[in-house]
Amino acid sequence: MHHTSLIATIVAGLGLAFVFGALANRLKLPVLVGYLLAGVIVGPFTPGYVADQELAPQLAEIGVILLMFGVGLHFSVKDLMAVRKIAIPGAVAQITAATLMGVGLAVALGWGWGPGVVFGLALSVASTVVLLRALQERRLIETDRGRIAVGWLIVEDLAMVLALVLLPALSGVLGGAAPAHASGGILGAFAMTIGKVVAFVAFMLIVGRRVIPWILHRIAHTGSRELFRLAVLAIALGVAFGSAALFGVSFALGAFFAGMIMAESELSHQAANETLPLRDAFAVLFFVSIGMLFDPMVLLREPLAVLATVAIIVLGKSVAAYFIVVAFKRPKSVALTISVSLAQIGEFSFILAGLGVSLKLLPPEGRDLILAGAILSILLNPLLFAWLDKAMVKVSAGEGPSEPVAAAAQPHAVLVGYGRVGKTVAEGLRNRTPLVVIEDEVERAAELRAAGYEVVHGNAVRPEVLMQAGLDKATHVFVAVPSPFEAARIIEQARAANPDARIIARAYTDADVELLGQMGATEALIGEQEIARGMLQRAPRRAPPPAPAH
C-alpha cells in the first residue's frame, strides 16, 4: 500500500473535501468549513482512514506556492511601493502587539516569556491562503484595500522568514535548547538572513527580470499552448523551490517574486489563467491538511486557553490593526477590511510552532493551542467577512442604513454587474428608462452612486440583495455578470419574482444559453456571436457590381 499513498492522499483529500464542501454549502456554511472537516476526518485524531501526514503538508505547500504566484501576477513593484508607507509600519506594529499579547497569555499559563515570544509570533502572522481566498471571493484583490492587505501580508511573511532563521540562533537566549553550532552569534545570523533575502531579490530583479520574459516570449512564439502552460508552471515552481533551496527564502516568497516578474510581460494574463485550475485544487488540499493536524480533544482539555488564544487572533489583532490603519488617516472601510482579513492564522504559524517545539522553546501544548486557534479563526473568518459586507454598506453609504431605491417603485430596468459589459449597457439605458444597478464591488458601487445611478450594493446571487432592486416592477433585467453559474441563480430568482420581465443574459457557450434559458432567461447573448454581428454590420452592404463582360 505504501507506494500508492500519494494517490490515496490526493484522492481522499479531494474526494472528502468535495463531499463535505457540498454538505457545508447545503447547510449554508462556507465550503471551507467542509474542507477543514474533511481534514479532521482523515487526520490521525479521529478513527478510520488516516492520510499520509508527510505528504499532505507538502501538497498543501504547492497550493501556497501557486497562490502566491497568482498574487505576484497581479501585483507590481509599483503597487508594493505604493502601499509600503502603511503596510510596513502597520505590519510591524501589529506583530508587536500580537506578540505582546501572546507573551501575556504564555506567562499566565506559566510557560515564561521566552516561549511566549514564539507563541506570540505564531499568533501574529495571517494565512496567505485564507486571506487570498477571502479577497478573491469578494473581488477585492485589485482594490485599494486589497492591495494594502496583500502588502501588509507580504511584510508579515518577510518578518516570519526572518523569525524562522533567527529562532535557532536565539533559542538559548529565549530559554530553549542552545544552538548546535553558534557561528557568529545572533548578529551574524541576522546579517546572514538579511543578506540572503537581499541577494534573492537582487537576483530576481537583475537576472530573473531578463531571463523569465525571454523564455516566455520564445515559448509563446512556438504557438504551442501546451508548452506555454508548462513553461509557466515550471517557472513558478522552479523559482519557488530554487529560492528556498539556494537563498533560504520561503517557497511562498519565491513564488510571489516569480509572479511579479512575469506580470511585467504582456503575457501575464494568459499566464495567470493557465494556473487557475491547479491553484484551486491545491488550495483545497491546503485546508484539508490543516484539518488533519487538529486534535479536537484540546477543546475539552483546555477550553479557557483555547478561548484566550482565539480572542488574541480574532479580537486582539483586529483591534490593533484597526487603530493602526485609522492612525494612518485611512478610511474606516480600509481599516475594517484589513482587520478582518488578518484576523486569522495559518501555515506560517504551524511552521513556527513546529520549529519552536523542536528547539524545546515551546511546550507541545503551545502547538496544540496554535492549531486550535488557527482552525477556529479560519472558521470564524467567513463570518467576520459577512459581517464586514454588512458594515461596509453602511460605511460606504455615508453611515446609516442603505437608502430605499426610488426607481424600484415604478416600471424600470435592472442591470446586474457594472463591468466591461454592464458599463456600456448602463450608459445606453440612462436616458431611456429608470434604472437600478446591482454591483458587488464597493468601489464600483460608490463610483456608480457618484455618477448619479441608483445602486444596490451586494452580490445579486443573494435573494435579499436581488429583491431590493424591485424585481416585481421590472420590465427588463440585464444580467451582465461574467459567471454563468451565478447568472443562472440570479435569473432563476428573478423569473420567480416576475414572470413577465424580459431577462437578457450574458453567455459564452451554447451550453450556457441552454442553461440560462432553462432558468428563465428570455434571451442569452454569446459574446463571440455579437462580435460577428458587429463585423457584418461593418461589411459592404451590397455585392460589388459584376466585372464588365468583354
Interface residues with ligand AMP (CB under 6 A) are 139, 416-422, 438-441, 444, 459-461, 480-482, 486
- CB atoms < 10 A from the CB of 13, how many? 30
Query: CB of residue 181 vs ligand AMP: minimum separation in angstroms?
Result: 54
Rg of the chain over all Cα atoms, to the nearest angstrom: 26
The amino acid at 231? A
Would you call 436 helix, strand, or coil by DSSP?
Answer: strand
- CB atoms < 10 A from the CB of 41, how many? 21
Is the CB of residue 141 less than 8 Å from the CB of residue 135? Answer: yes
Q: Using CA atoms, how far apart are residues 387 and 364, in angstroms rounded to an integer?
A: 34
Question: With 0-12 CB in 10 A as exposed, 13-18 as middle and 19+ as buried, what is 269?
Answer: exposed
Under 8 Å CB-to-CB from 534, ≥6 apart: which residues?
none
Query: CB of residue 535 vs ligand AMP: minimum separation in angstroms?
Result: 21
Query: CB of residue 140 vs ligand AMP: minimum separation in angstroms?
Result: 10
Closer to ligand AMP by Cβ: residue 138 or 412:
138
Closer to ligand AMP by Cβ: residue 370 or 421:
421
Closer to ligand AMP by Cβ: residue 439 or 512:
439
Angstrom distances, CA of residue 98 to CA of 115, 119, 315: 14, 10, 10
- For the chain, the residue count is 550
The x, y and z cell numbers of residue 327, run together, are 492612525
Q: Using CA atoms, how far apart are residues 43 and 288, in angstroms rounded to an integer?
A: 9
Closer to ligand AMP by Cβ: residue 87 or 140:
140
Scanning the structure block, which residue is given the C-alpha cell 473581488? 139
CA 302 to chain centre: 32
Query: CB of residue 466 vs ligand AMP: minimum separation in angstroms?
Result: 9
Q: Using CA atoms, how far apart are residues 184 and 162, in angstroms rounded to an integer?
A: 16
Under 8 Å CB-to-CB from 137, ≥6 apart: which residues?
none
The dihedral through the CA atoms of 95, 97, 98, 102 has a sign that is positive
Is the CB of residue 85 less than 8 Å from the CB of residue 272? Answer: no
Query: CB of residue 457 vs ligand AMP: minimum separation in angstroms?
Result: 9
Q: Using CA atoms, how far apart are residues 293 and 290, in angstroms rounded to an integer?
A: 5
Query: CB of residue 360 vs ligand AMP: minimum separation in angstroms?
Result: 51
Shortest-Cβ-distance residue relative to ligand AMP: 419
Closer to ligand AMP by Cβ: residue 338 or 461:
461
Closer to ligand AMP by Cβ: residue 139 or 196:
139
Query: CB of residue 490 vs ligand AMP: minimum separation in angstroms?
Result: 7
Query: CB of residue 489 vs ligand AMP: minimum separation in angstroms?
Result: 8
Query: CB of residue 456 vs ligand AMP: minimum separation in angstroms?
Result: 9
Closer to ligand AMP by Cβ: residue 310 or 421:
421
Query: CB of residue 438 vs ligand AMP: minimum separation in angstroms?
Result: 5
Angstrom distances, CA of residue 387 to CA of 23, 190, 307, 382, 460: 23, 41, 21, 9, 17
Q: Using CA atoms, how far apart are residues 384 and 497, in angstroms rounded to an integer?
A: 30
